Amino acid sequence: MLVSLLMLAAGFALLIKGADYLIEGSVAIAKNLGISELLIGLTIVAIGTSAPELAVSVQAAFKGSDIALGNVLGSNIANIGLILGITAILTPLGVNKTTMSYEIPFVIIITIASSALILGNNGLHRSDGIVLITFFLIYMMYVFTMAKRDRSITDIVEVEGKRDVEILEKSPVLAWVATIGGTAAVILGGNFVVDGGSSIAQIFGVSDMLIGTTIVAIGTSLPELVTTISAGRKNRSDLAIGNVVGSNIFNLLLVLGISATISPITAQRSLAAEIIFASLLAIVLPLLLLRKKKLDRPRGALLLIIYASFLVSSIFRG
């Protein structure tokens, strides 16, 4: 038990720090190559904050564990319910018109679409993974279209560690070392989390799905939690909400898409409750923002209550 807990803790530490170095090194390399900060923020930084989920889910897919499904669904639920809930209570958040008009509706659509695929097969086949990756490519086309319109998102780079990026920019070798080292740490951390989480599940006689939707999901969402709270405290409300929305898009399309393409994923139990909560939060978020275009403390508290209900439901279902 102690070894499993230590493995889980070490895995989370490697995931979080590895993602930091991966993002900072990649941003520095991209800048040295003359790539715009807009594309850096919408691609490299967005993928970097989802690197823990990707690493855990891919490792789980190789090992035939349904932690991959639990991790993504649990992370998306935690991103909206837990992370936005906590951030809104600390600092009320506003949202811009573009996010309300495009990104949030897109999250609702892909949440419902991916849920239909999962429920239809009690998991995901390789063909489903290909469908999700196709949707991801469509999203990236949208990203590049937005880039051409010069939508400013330079604050994303600042929140993720502008000072460290500037240091790495001056030393291309260090930038590559940080990127490669961060990638290795994320991969190794993902392996530790899957093995540690699976061992704990076996010890307590619960499913990998429960561990994936709770402990693993919260752990892999820590980069988003830190980034979102930091953005909120610096009055960058658009970034705070945009970070969560972008992460959920990458989790559903890229993370699940790659995982299912590598190896078909079959759930050990019904995923109806997880899908209901994921869909509920995706729909509730724009409703809470509809009138005031703001996520204030009472609305943040409501999101936390929904997330707490999800945790209680997960524990009872095992």
Q: What is the DSSP string of 257-288?
A: HHHHHHS-EE-SS--HHHHHHHHHHHHHHHHH
Dist. CA 48–CA 27, nearest whole Å: 10
CB 240 within 8 A of CB 83: no
Mean pLDDT of all residues in 42-67: 74
Angle at which helices 162-169 and 172-204 cross, to 10°: 130
Percent of the chain residues past pLDDT 70, beyond the cut? 84
Q: Range with the lowest mean pLDDT among 96-100, 216-220, 227-231, 311-315?
A: 227-231
CB 227 within 8 A of CB 83: no
Tokens of 30: 């991209």
Task: Give the CATH number of the domain where residue 311 resides.
Answer: 1.20.1420.30
Dist. CA 83–CA 75, nearest whole Å: 10
26 is in which domain, residue-wise?
2-317
Segment of 31-40, 60-69, 140-149 carrying the highest mean pLDDT: 60-69
Question: Hey, is 295 helix, strand or coil?
Answer: strand
pLDDT at 27: 72
Dist. CA 73–CA 76, nearest whole Å: 5
Residue 159 has pLDDT above 50, yes or no: no
Residue-wise pLDDT for 134-144, tens only, equals 999 988 888 77
CB 13 within 8 A of CB 31: no
Considering its fold, how many domains does the chain have in total? Answer: 1
Residue 91 has pLDDT above 50, yes or no: yes
Q: What is the pTM of this model?
A: 0.78
Residue 66 has pLDDT above 50, yes or no: yes
What residues form DSSP beta bridges with 93?
A: 295
Which of the four pLDDT bands, split at 50, 70 and 90, describes residue 18?
Answer: confident
pLDDT at 155: 45
Dist. CA 234–CA 13, nearest whole Å: 25
- Tell me how far apart the terminal alpha carbons of the chain are, to the nearest angstrom: 19
Dist. CA 101–CA 245, nearest whole Å: 13
For residue 263, which phi and psi values (nearest 5 degrees)?
-155, 130
